[in-house]
Structure 1
């Protein structure tokens, strides 16, 4: 797995898994999709202290998640400790970065519980960048890049999550009602390409999200478990772009006759998101169990500025909506915990009303309101077999991914709407084998090898409009992915561990003819898909020294290596366009040291990221921060 970012703290983050990235990989928190939770509560800003563990599904996604994921899923399980505890941390580091997290919980003997998680993030994100600069006197962008600094890149968010209810009662294992309140602000430094830079464009948003979770095992009858979750989020957004200037990376500007550095001026709207999920599991006996999941979600965008002045570039209608329902059923067979097989089926429904570009140009769009509906079935089987120290795995499925709200309706900043997107349909095969062995008392090894095949129809491709730097999502056609993953780890007692992963997975364009239907062989047939890393590796080593300085203390020092091979930004077969067509290979190194005292009550950690100060890129040459250092102080008591 690889985390891809567009820049520093608060920038757009995505997961690369099984050769897919972005919205192809679904992200959940406690089994609830994070899609509609608002920008103040997302992968790019939630604290690690929030998570008890993180589940990664790189093959078949269990129906309990109600997912329409194509390349896998990430499920962040939060800490629901039934004991009373306090976990407080503060960190500070390079680029004037500050993070604070307060995590408190209290449970009475009667089972009444209160959980509070409050956090804030702040950064100037003023790191050096190496880029081309426009000369306003000649209106020419320099061929050679120069070093300058991000100067309009501030980000901060403040969020609080409060949950209260009961645990370990006869009528509920867990019954919690909650409220999430958050706000965030972000300067917009540049578009999706580095050559377009801003100095006055910004966005801000607020989140108000009530939630409910109810779980009970052995309800009504032994072996029958139920889980019900739900939330509603009214998310306010304001995007501001009123400057009459055009800037370059030196901060120099020229006056414009039009308003707005980008495409939009002032945009205010509400995102109304609702999500509900019901899980029913019936364990007939040790061998047979059945499960049903129904996940329902709806999204509506509502104009918040009733006095907005329309012009020729405005969308004809600001309101749009999306409805989605995924129902799944499964049967699991467990033979003596050695052989486990699951067969499942899913039904997908989606209906979207929004704006579609019916013009012939992405640079000068012509929008029309349309309604699109989808109705489809998916199915599959997964099996695993344990023999001695080996585990063998295989899964085959037909999976679907419905377009996300952002892909369908845009974000009114840098993502354009396309309500006509069709669901992606994929035929998947996953094979794997793993080996785990303890030997000579003090030594242990773990190895894993897996292979995958994906054949995707109506692949949703994210494209960048060169003139404006905006992104748009389109159905590309047919894409094939064949990949292999290797992992190996060695452990010596609890003192030393080392390991690494190697991944090769290449998305190939299998759309043989061009989109105009004239039987003309496509120039990009059999090309790798643009902006998709296909070969990368990670390595790590860690030393743990117990009882350093006093009993129950622990000192840990670790090293991390990250390698990403060069990959194409654009179609390889289309040749040079006067701009860079690929991202160079990158190799970076991190060092992390931590010291825990009094069984973890007092903690201090120091991180050095990208210590050799390499230029790192993930998406469309958007540069990530260089060398940075961070110190974290943490207090924990239970």
Structure 2
């Protein structure tokens, strides 16, 4: 009786990677060995594997929605395994004069009329790379941190910075999460991508951003997923993440969790000035930071229903997070802090409902949350420390940060409601309506804190903040789909009420109501299939945030006199790709901003948000990618931005650069990919990143004191070096190795290879050379 050749397990294998035209991995691709029962799907890295294939010739069918299917002939000979790299082209079809084109999600977002850049976190998810480092490799973006892991971060996009840049999590403003989902904490492998908006925001993002926004898009999946990572590195740093997702057999119910943990002693070496306790003399030395530890946890459990008659998706979540931070310095590194600590925690319920109606012409997306964030600060050292950790007791003071000390406990109550409606008028016009309603109140107590003249605790006086942002957008496709126009009208309103005290304990009451209108226009014109131009302009308003007005109960002081920022912004850009391997993008911007809000040092311990009267900014950036060899890719970008104050009333400082703001920075990288290193199925990626930041200045510098070189790009400033944040050059090298068992990946990275002194926001020193090892495991049940 003849044998069934298909059931003969002779051990031949077929494996490969599925990619789109942009080189991004395609998950969920169906791979079928025609004429057999062997079938599989690609995982999140685009990898697939078929085993136990008998020796004969087959047709391999590769299919994914939105891409052209492929049929590949495979001839399995004796002892012959086959490894493939398959690129799926976007699917296109033609019916008379109607053209249908499908692109990858990342490319579709990057080609919107508004200036958008997509940071693909998937390609680095196995590297021990932070999101801050990844963003700093992106043209037009500079993220500055006040130290190591867990330190505060300040994002700058095209010259705008601080709260002029808004943050979103899956399209929802992130204020309700406090510092729990900060970009310096969230691991890259928890994200699908980061959408960077420069200037004008699309109507689906409701915010009063002036300079742009970051939208952190969490991992999207419809499969059963188990993903985990653990990272260990210098300064006793430990980082872990866990992602679980399960969907029922009916595909109508799901449950999952996203969680991460961070810990670091942050005891890296820094250049400091030590005060000798006995003599009071000061000398410069290099010492490890000694009270700079940080740890946090974040966990979200969610569940819901999907694909039912009454809901495309209803998702209910509960998020818990906690942060513990030791404080080693204030707004600058002029004085050491050796005992003060800060704690923050919250329990956050959320609900999100999505539904499409009327043959999917109308879509509804509703999000809501009400939660309370708790913050505790302890400062009771009764003396002061120097940078060697030596303590000098003092009977005249209770604390280090403030003489009277603090045991402040604060409670921040938030509510957020976001409603987004999208309606397709016809094949050429879409309408979006977006409404974001947010509210905030703060109340607390501090037995050591300031008192009103009546004896009442100042923190016991409640502070209120309410804000409403309404947006209406019309997107039109014209001129046979060559021209896309997006018109957005926004309404801003906020009201505040708070009470503070002066040094004599007199009550200072603050009440304010303000409302304004803004309008934005974005155009994109397609030149060829691979290139386009886009232009955007807006008049926008940025309302002061609650922590800028009321402080944060920590080291940020109140400023009731803050006025909203007003700005006129324009962007012009060009992008092209050629041979599907190379790309070039060039963008320019122009800004005029009045009453710009900047966070500035109030003294060496505290900071305060203040208005800068008039700022004019112009700049340009370029970003390119080239495939040098089939296995080697090079990328590079640079950014120049000239932000200057005007109409200052001070002739010596007229047209000086904006203080504490980098004006030129660039990146270059090489990435190599290799296969079959130690086995037929393993993969190795090696990389090198280079970052350069041109010197900039802590305080405003007269224009005639700037370097004489072209655009200030070389030469030296004619001032005291203490006011200069010097040129900085950072090198990072590393590799990731994926063995034949593709669920596991090993990543090793060396940051700041040459151990250079790295300074950031207000000359605060960041870590030197450090080494990190990351293990990642991912299992997807198809």
Q: Give the TM bin, normalised by the shorter chain.
A: over 0.9
**Cross-structure match for 1:54:** 194
Distance apart, 1:601 and its partner CA: 0.8
- Establish whether residue 168 from structure 1 lines up as the match of residue 297 from structure 2: no
How far the C-alpha of 1:40 sits from its partner, in A, is 2.8
Partner secondary structure for residue 539 of structure 1: strand
CA separation of 1:582 and 1:394: change in aligned 2, threshold 3 A:
same
- How many residues in Structure 1 have an aligned counterpart in Structure 2? 618
Distance 1:337 1:433 in 2: 18
| Partner in structure 2 of residue 371 of structure 1 | 511
Is the 8 Å Cα contact of residues 50 and 117 (structure 1) preserved in structure 2?
Answer: yes
Higher alpha-carbon deviation: 331-340 or 395-404: 331-340
Aligned position for 2:730 = 588
Cα distance in structure 2, aligned partners of 1:522 and 1:321: 40
Partner of 1:7: 147
CA–CA distance in structure 1, aligned partners of residues 461 and 271 of structure 2: 38
Tell me which of 235, 246, 252 is aligned to 1:95: 235
- Shift in alpha-carbon separation, 1:548–1:171, aligned structure 2, 3 A: farther
CA shift, 1:131, in A, is 1.6
How far residue 206 of structure 1 moved from its aligned partner, in angstroms, is 0.9
CA contact (8 A) 2:318 2:349 kept: yes
Give the whole-Å Cα distance in 2 for the aligned partners of 1:250 and 1:183. 29
TM-score by length of 2: 0.76
The answer as to 2:577 corresponding to 1:436 is yes
Verify: 1:474 aligned to 2:576, yes or no.
no
CA distance change for structure 1 residues 133 and 577 in 2, over 3 Å: closer, same or farther? farther
C-alpha distance 16-172 of structure 1, shift in aligned 2 (>3 A): same
Deviations 1:448-475 (A, max 9, x none): 1111001001111222123x42001111
Give the structure 2 partner of residue 448 of structure 1: 585
Query: Who wins on radius of gyration, i.e. which is larger?
Result: 2
Answer yes or no: is the 8 Å Cα contact 2:158–2:589 preserved in 1: yes
Which residue of 636, 647, 654 maps to 1:525?
654
Q: Are 1:205 and 2:205 matched, yes or no?
A: no
1:48 and 1:463 map into 2 onto residues whose CA distance is 30
**Which string of whole-angstrom CA distances, capped at 9 and with x for unpartnered residues, describes residues 99-139 of structure 1?**
11111000113220011012111100000001222233443
1:434 match: secondary structure: strand
Find the counterpart in structure 2 of residue 327 from structure 1: 470
Partner of 2:161: 21
Are 1:635 and 2:753 counterparts?
no
Q: Report the counterpart of residue 463 of structure 1 in structure 2.
A: 600
1:250-261 alignment to 2 at 5 Å?
250-256=388-394, 257-261=396-400
In the alignment, the residues of structure 1 paired with residue 599 and residue 500 of structure 2 have an alpha-carbon distance, to the nearest angstrom, of 15
| Residue matched to 1:516 | none
**TM-align CA RMSD:** 2.2
Unaligned runs of 5+ in 2: 1-140, 706-717
- Shift in alpha-carbon separation, 1:409–1:522, aligned structure 2, 3 A: farther
Following the alignment from structure 1 to structure 2, what is the Cα–Cα distance between the partners of residues 99 and 337? 47
1:284 to 425, 433, 449: 425
State the Cα distance separating 1:494 from its structure 2 match: 5.6
Alpha-carbon distance in 2 for matches of 1:619, 1:34: 23
Look up the SS of the partner of 1:49 in the other structure. helix
Identify the residue that residue 411 of structure 1 maps to in structure 2. Answer: 552
Confirm or deny that 1:504 pairs with 2:640: yes
Distance 1:249 1:580 in 2: 19
| 1:459 alignment partner, SS class | strand
Contact 1:354 1:408 in 2 (8 A): no
Matches within 5 A, 1:62-461: 62-110=202-250, 111-142=252-283, 145-217=284-356, 219-256=357-394, 257-263=396-402, 264-303=405-444, 310-311=450-451, 315=458, 318-335=461-478, 336-355=480-499, 368-388=508-528, 389-438=530-579, 444-461=581-598
Q: List per-residue Cα deviations over 1:141-165 (Å, max 9, x = no partner).
A: 43xx311110001100112111100
Please report how far the alpha carbon of residue 339 of structure 1 lies from its aligned counterpart in structure 2 after TM superposition. Answer: 1.4
- Counterpart residue number, 2:5: none
Q: Give the C-alpha shift of residue 552 in structure 1.
A: 4.1
Q: Are the counterparts in 2 of residues 324 and 349 from structure 1 also a CA contact under 8 Å?
A: yes
Alignment partners' CA distance in 2, 1:309 and 1:616: 36
Determine which of 603, 607, 627 is the counterpart of 2:745.
Answer: 603
Equivalent in the alignment of 1:538: 667
Relative to structure 1, the CA distance from residue 352 to residue 523 in structure 2 (aligned partners, 3 Å threshold; closer, same or farther) is farther
**Residues 367, 594 of structure 1: alpha-carbon distance in 2 compared, 3 angstrom cutoff:** farther
Distance 1:204 1:108, change over 3 A: same
SS of the residue 1:620 aligns to: helix
SS at match of 1:36: helix
Match for residue 693 of structure 2 among 564, 570, 573: 564
Indicate conservation of the 8 Å contact 1:356/1:419, yes or no: no
Residues 294-313 of structure 1, C-alpha deviations (whole Å, 9 max, x = no match): 001111112156x6665579
Q: Is the 2:458–2:501 Cα contact (8 Å) retained in structure 1?
A: no
SS in 1 for 2:750: strand
Higher mean C-alpha deviation, range 323-332 or range 521-530: 521-530
The Cα of 1:405 is off from its aligned counterpart by 1.9
Q: How far apart are the structure 1 equivalents of 2:208 and 2:277?
A: 48
User: How far apart, in 2, do the equivalents of 1:7 and 1:367 lie?
Assistant: 36
Deviation at 1:367, TM superposition (A): 6.4
Is residue 495 of structure 1 aligned with residue 631 of structure 2?
Answer: yes
Q: Is contact 1:112-1:167 (8 Å) kept?
A: yes
Distance 2:340 2:388 in 1: 16
Question: Residue 460 and residue 173 in structure 1: after superposition, are their counterparts in 2 closer, same or farther (change >3 A)?
Answer: same
Q: Deviations over 1:271-305 (max 9, x none)?
A: 11111110101112221111100001111112156
Q: For each residue in 1:564-600, what CA deviation from the matched residue of structure 2 results, as whole angstroms up to 9, or x when unmatched? A: 1000101113999988111001000001210123474
Higher mean displacement: 308-317 or 192-201: 308-317
1:37-85 Cα offsets, whole Å, 9 max, x none, are 1223322211212211111111311121101111111101111312111
Give the Cα–Cα distance (whole angstroms) in 2 for the partners of residues 356 and 571 of structure 1: 31
Q: Distance in 1 between matches of 2:630 and 2:370?
A: 45
CA displacement at 1:354 relative to structure 2: 2.5
Q: Hey, what's the Cα distance between the residues in 1 that align with 2:341 and 2:257?
A: 30
Counterpart in the other structure of 2:14? none
